[in-house]
Amino acid sequence: MPADDTVFSVLYDKFLFWSIIVGVLTFGWLFYAMARYRQNIVPDTTDVDHIVVGSFPVERHNTRIEVLFYVLPTLIVVWLVVLALSSNTAVWVIPDEDESFNMEVVGKQWFWEFNYNEELTWQDDPRETGIDVNWGQDLVVQFANSGATNISITMDGVSSDYGLDTGLGTLRLLSSIDRFTYSTVEVLDSSGEVLHTWQHIPVGHQLSTALGEHLVVPCDEEVVLSLFSLTSDYSELNSTYWGVQHSFWLPEWGVKEDLVPGLEGGTVMWFMADDPGTFDIRCAEYCGLDHSKMIGKVDVVSYFDEKTNQQILCDADTGVKKSDGVSS
């Protein structure tokens, strides 16, 4: 289900509320008038104030009620218009590039590619795993009372494994992080199950659903996605082929945006997620025989903020704060 606090869900709830109010008043008056002034009632000729069915009370009418019948619906319509227009700021205004996390999404036949224009250092929530990884001048892993027995470090595709002293509860390696290298630290238990993941994604790195990789985005951060539809490598041999249209869809967040082939500037989608977890990615536009393969996952993670030099932890409470896609 879409997150309860997306602008779409909130706007839907408000429209539903006012629609119910209008419906109750309208149908309430309708049923009252049907019962009170139905045709088989015999007119009371002695009552000068009696309303005769089929005739307009020219000589007797209530100006206040008649004005109310015009003013009240007008006010309701104006209020609904204000609700709809006021949401445009939250939906259509793209966050400033300097204050958001920017990256590119490329749709091909039939997979997604994610290009990082900014670096992202993230790890699983230490409050849940009981494990904390810090990698600066040295690599320090704290794992007391977590069941961890091994650690696997992968840098630029090369892996190294180390055993952990469960009695010591901490590990320090004299190894400084290379911010230009894709690096992953996985802490495992005795059965080989991954208990905790730490990862550094450098600028210019690419992840692909064709390799089973997920889109990874930081929580509590405005994320701006530039969306492009490009041909696959085998199709680029044909210079007349521009590719096909895709639609990047996050169904649980109620947001999607088209990827238009040949559009040099691409299209833009933005959102801000505050609920950690893994969510589905789908293509909402038929893009060929293997359209059903245009699927993927997006991970919302806690991350290390270089600006404040601290770990930003997600609060698992209300899902996605804001989300939408707009064409540029």
Instruction: Give me the pLDDT at residue 328, please.
Output: 30
How far apart CA 249 and CA 256 sit, in angstroms, is 4
Residue 258 in contact with residue 228, Cβ under 8 Å? no
How far apart CA 148 and CA 125 sit, in angstroms, is 15
Q: Which amino acid is at 256?
A: K
Determine the structural domain holding residue 18 and report its residue range: 7-92
Same domain, 138 and 107: no
pLDDT band at 294 (very low <50, low <70, confident <90, very high): very high
CATH code: domain of residue 162: 2.60.40.10
Query: Length of the chain, please?
Result: 328
pLDDT tens digits, residue range 83-128? 777 766 666 677 777 778 999 999 988 899 999 999 999 999 898 8
How far apart CA 253 and CA 325 sit, in angstroms, is 11
Q: If we measure between CA atoms, which residue out of 196, 109, 100 comes closest to residue 148?
A: 196
Same domain, 168 and 69: no
The answer to whether residue 123 is domain-embedded is: no
The answer to whether residue 232 is domain-embedded is: yes
Domain total in the chain: 3
The answer to whether residue 230 is domain-embedded is: yes
pLDDT band at 306 (very low <50, low <70, confident <90, very high): confident
Same domain, 141 and 186: yes
Same domain, 254 and 328: yes
The answer to whether residue 2 is domain-embedded is: no
Same domain, 168 and 296: no
Same domain, 208 and 198: no
Q: Domain boundary at 202, 228, 260, which? A: 202
The answer to whether residue 97 is domain-embedded is: no
Q: Domain boundary at 163, 180, 202, which? A: 202
Mean pLDDT of the chain: 82
Cis before residue 110, ω within 30 degrees of 0? yes
Same domain, 212 and 323: yes
pLDDT band at 210 (very low <50, low <70, confident <90, very high): very high
pTM above 0.75, yes or no: no
Residue 243 in contact with residue 109, Cβ under 8 Å? yes
pLDDT tens digits, residue range 31-70? 988 887 776 666 555 555 566 666 666 666 677 877 888 8
- Residue 77: HSE in the Cβ half-sphere, 13 Å Cα cutoff: 6
CATH code: domain of residue 251: 2.60.40.420
Instruction: Give me the pLDDT at residue 325, please.
Output: 37
Residue 101 in contact with residue 92, Cβ under 8 Å? no
Same domain, 307 and 262: yes
Same domain, 198 and 208: no
Going by DSSP bridges, is the β-strand pair 194-201/320-326 parallel, antiparallel, or unpaired? unpaired
Instruction: Give me the pLDDT at residue 5, please.
Output: 58
Instruction: Give me the pLDDT at residue 166, please.
Output: 83
Same domain, 208 and 295: yes
**Out of 87-96, 150-159, 300-309, least confident range:** 87-96
| Token pair belonging to 165 | 């002293």
Q: If we measure between CA atoms, which residue out of 116, 151, 145, 119 comes closest to residue 133?
A: 151
Same domain, 186 and 276: no
Same domain, 198 and 187: yes
User: Read out DSSP for 112-175?
Assistant: EEEEESS-EEEE--HHHHS-EEEESSSEEEE-TTS---EEEEEETTEEEEEE--TTT-EEEE--
Q: Domain boundary at 202, 219, 253, which? A: 202
Average pLDDT over residues 199-220: 94
Residue 218 in contact with residue 301, Cβ under 8 Å? yes
